[in-house]
Amino acid sequence: MVTLLDAPGHRDFIPNMISGAAQADTAILVVDSGVGEFESGFEGTGQTKEHAQLLFSLGIRQVVIAINKLDMVDWSKDRFEEIKEKVQDFLKKLGYKEKGLRYVPVSGLSGENLMKREEEALKAWYDGPTLFEAIDTFNQPTRSVDSALRLCVTDVYKSSSLGHYSDTKIQPSTLTHAL
């Protein structure tokens, strides 16, 4: 069974991305292949790098890298390989193992290679799985019930009646009883 959680990649939604990724066992990292777009998302402290680091820090070890908008570069195998090489080098430096990574060329706009492959220019060089098929290659993760509880706090609300932030702390014993 697969449940997809869509976490926006925009910098304003990083808390939502963390919230979604914290609930996930695996991930699909969508990378923009547009000339200039990939570079801005991947060079320096770009969003793609930041998301990969967050995924790794949250314990996600299986990732499909969906290289999106490849139709905008005429389904260029060279562009796909260039992006794959740069992303793979970075992910390995983070600690990912190659066996936990899959790279899939796609077009979100046209739906190409999401569930089926019809584009002749893509068929000429790519015979790997569609994105849907790549999801099926994930190994079912095991969950350690003896590990510490990870609880995401995505927002803090100011109480209008108290006029300040609450500093109430949840005691571990209370949390255990509540679960």
CATH code assigned at 100:
3.40.50.300
Distinct helix (H) and strand (E) counts, the chain: 7, 3
pLDDT tens digit string along 14-69? 776 777 777 778 889 999 999 998 998 888 777 888 888 888 988 889 999 999 99
Residue of higher predicted confidence among 13 and 133: 133
The reply to whether 96 falls in a domain is yes
The reply to whether 179 falls in a domain is no
- Asked if residue 176 has pLDDT above 60, the reply is no
The reply to whether 65 falls in a domain is yes
The reply to whether 156 falls in a domain is no
The reply to whether 150 falls in a domain is no
The reply to whether 164 falls in a domain is no
> Which structural domain range is residue 50 located in?
11-141
The reply to whether 129 falls in a domain is yes
Which residue(s) pair with 31 in the sheet?
Answer: 67
Cβ atoms of 80 and 105 closer than 8 Å = yes
The reply to whether 172 falls in a domain is no
CA distance 2 to 110: 23
Q: How many CB atoms lie within 10 A of CB 53?
A: 14
Number of structural domains, the chain? 1
